[in-house]
Amino acid sequence: MLDENAEVVQAGEAEKTGAPAETPYMDEMCKGPWPSHAKELKRTRYPVMMYEEGTRQCYTQWGHGGMSSVPGLGSGAIARKSRRPDIISHSNLIRVLGNPGNFYTTKAFRKICALTDTYGDASLHVLTTNSNIEICGIMNDQQMKAVTAELNAMGYDVGSAGDAIRNIPDCMGPALCEYAAVDAPRLKYFMTKHYIDDIQYPRFPFKIKTKMAGCPNDCGKALLHGDIGIIGVFKDLPKVDDEKLSAWVEKGGNIERVCDTCPTDAMQWEGTRLAIDGERCIRCMYCINRVPAIKPGDDRGVAITVGGNMKGKYGPKKGKVVFPFIKAEAPDYKELVAAYGKICEVYDDHGKKKERVGDLMQRVGFDKFLEWCGVEVTTMHFSSPRRNTFYHWHVESEKGGTHE
């Protein structure tokens, strides 16, 4: 993003701080014909000695950060503390709430790059685990206010930090995927606008990460990473196109193998048609993923899971189903808003400071949590909208039964 003379600036800044300008570890990473992040980093104003020392010591030179309190910015300003004040005293960043489906025009993205050239250190964190864009290396409050004003003028909000609802990442839904049971990008747009105050102004015991996936394949990792997960599901049976299925079988598709490896033995091939047992089928997407002639059913909505995280107080946890099926109907998504709001209310009322939603659930018990949410306990709460369907097989054994 900067010109080639930026590398000279790096050396000059290092000399001013008294830190050595030599970067042997980064230089090693710059070698070879392949693209090098170290080479690109040297072209920015990023304090490369922080990276060099972190590589040498095998430990980051940045300390734990937090929110940078800047009037008018809500929870968008993040403070990065430095363990090496001899290199750099501190560094801040601004989190830009990501677009639905992560769609950006080149014009908009070039403007964001220009902002980080002007106000930051010319480096970006692009599409973080919460689908944010982070403008890095902002040194003072005036710069943070200025970059936020320009982002707002472009139509972008900042936020997603502190004890607030974080940015809501989504999959690309029907824009890319034929399996999508709900329009995840449209739902993400609605949820962001509806909960923008709770995203920008912290009020909860701790952060709430909401993940969204358009179907039970859960490409958005809602079940594993989301304090609250919103997953597109369907209640009726998968739809089977008998004519297309017969053609697929004639070309070598191994429907018997698909039936044999169904996680709940819910399928049976009767020679000319496929029978699916509605009592056994858990709508796990296994057959849909394997056979082009099978699609999700038409009675669609979302399941809401609660309690997933990777760094909770008691270690990683998988989310549990709290609301097995809720209609997600545009434009107001009334049922979803009511259920999501109830979970946030329970967490706000009963969560301890710095206690994630899953840790609260583990502390009080799942049955008590369901009671607080006003949900009647059923066997569906002890299952999930997805089973581990990553079976392994050898391609040569399929003989035409795999997708092209």
In the structure, what pLDDT confidence band is assigned to residue 399 with cuts at 50, 70 and 90? low
Same domain, 229 and 244: no
* Predicted local confidence at residue 16, as pLDDT: 47
In 58-201, alpha helices (H): 106-119, 141-154, 184-194, 196-200
**Number of structural domains, the chain?**
4
SS3 90: strand
Same domain, 219 and 76: no
172 alpha carbon, distance to own chain's centre: 12
> 278: domain CATH number?
3.30.70.20
Same domain, 122 and 45: no
Residue among 162, 173, 289, 183 at smallest CA distance from 220 = 173
Cα(357)–Cα(352) distance, rounded to whole angstroms? 10
Return the structure tokens found at 131.
Answer: 């689908």
**Domain stop point among 154, 184, 209:** 154
Same domain, 272 and 364: no
**Domain stop point among 87, 122, 154:** 154
* Predicted local confidence at residue 69, as pLDDT: 67
Q: Which value, to the nearest 10 degrees, does the dihedral of the CA atoms of residues 199, 203, 205, 210 take?
A: -20
Cα(162)–Cα(109) distance, rounded to whole angstroms? 26
> 119: domain CATH number?
3.30.70.2500
In 262-331, alpha helices (H): 286-290
Which domain, by its residues, includes 36?
Answer: 6-57
Same domain, 323 and 223: yes
> 342: domain CATH number?
3.30.413.10
Same domain, 226 and 313: yes
Same domain, 90 and 179: no
Higher pLDDT, residue 359 or 63? 359
Interval 126-145: pLDDT, tens? 988 888 999 999 999 899 99
In the structure, what pLDDT confidence band is assigned to residue 74 with cuts at 50, 70 and 90? confident
Q: Which residues pair with 213 in a beta bridge?
A: 231
* Predicted local confidence at residue 71, as pLDDT: 72
Interval 297-336: pLDDT, tens? 999 999 999 999 988 778 888 899 999 999 999 999 999 9
The number of CA neighbours under 13 Å toward the Cβ of 67 is: 19
Task: Identify whether 258 is part of a domain.
Answer: yes
Same domain, 364 and 223: yes
* Predicted local confidence at residue 96, as pLDDT: 93
